[in-house]
Amino acid sequence: MDEIPQEVPNLDQHLQTLRDLLSSVTVPASVEVEGTTSMSVWTRRQLSTERKFKAAVPELLNCMLAAESVPQHCCHQCKTMNAVVRCLDCVPSGVQFLCAGCDSMVHKKLVFHDREVMIDNFYKHIPPTSSVKMDERGHYELVEQVCLLPIPPPTQICSCGRDQDYTIMPGKQTVLVTINGPYNLCLPAVCCPHCSCKWTPGISDLISSRYWPATASCQMLFKFDVLTSFEQMKLASPATSQKAFIRMLEHRAHRTGQGVSRICILQLEERASVPG
């Protein structure tokens, strides 16, 4: 169980330092271009653009600070409870602010959504493997939850018929590496309540859903967008190493509050060119 810190960091000094730095920026009134007695058209345009941007910096700073404020919202799903979670990926559907119960229900399958918990007037990123609950003292805390790999189950797994109410349970644990870093998930296990027939996704099912197995046992999977991004990065910047790309993925995972798994470099090197 992960206790959410109750102390609010004091950012006044950092904000004042930022304001001082912004106010200390000066744009020269004129610049001499080597070999000419007057500024070129391109230089005048650059100076004009810099002046306009400097004039807009205070408004940009105020807007940035206002965007980090945590106003009180009612849950967009149940319309009754106070919202405690903000989802940055649920904006088009109109359920951006959710209470703890509705958040668990909405994002049970949407495991890749970028969620933030609203505690002590600050936003804090939370991983998909955590949910928000209220303890006995009335304080919100993070608790671990099991997330299944998003993959469509088959319509029929046995001869009992297509209308059976199959049970979906967490199966084998795996690590899915996406462009936003690694996710600790479980493969779904679909069971028939009558004949006890069981289905788990095989390699063909994973590849059909655009997941590439890093090992034969599927202990680690890559989304295809990671492999194509790595290939495009190498074409644009051949000097960039595989290690740097892996470290970027791990840093992105830590920034969003997820990812404790290490990504094997050899697994990416050996498989980056396979999906094509």
Same domain, 252 and 178: yes
Would 1 be classed as within a structural domain?
no
Would 36 be classed as within a structural domain?
no
Same domain, 264 and 176: yes
Strands 167-178 and 220-223: parallel
pLDDT at 90: 84
Strand stretches in the chain, DSSP E: 85-87, 97-98, 115-119, 122-126, 130-134, 140-144, 167-178, 181-191, 198-199, 211-213, 220-223
Count structural domains, the chain: 2
Cα–Cα distance for residue pair 206/203, rounded to 1 Å = 5
Same domain, 183 and 249: yes
Same domain, 249 and 178: yes
Domain that holds residue 237: 172-187+209-271
Same domain, 213 and 260: yes
Same domain, 227 and 263: yes
Same domain, 177 and 136: no
Same domain, 129 and 181: no
pLDDT at 26: 60
User: What does DSSP assign to residue 148?
Assistant: B
Would 66 be classed as within a structural domain?
no
Would 43 be classed as within a structural domain?
no
Would 61 be classed as within a structural domain?
no
Same domain, 214 and 132: no
Residue 113 tokens, joined: 């959504």
pLDDT along the chain (276 residues), means of 10: 49 69 59 53 86 87 80 86 88 80 86 84 81 79 86 82 77 87 87 84 91 86 88 86 82 65 53 49
Would 79 be classed as within a structural domain?
no
Same domain, 176 and 133: no
Would 264 be classed as within a structural domain?
yes
Would 73 be classed as within a structural domain?
no
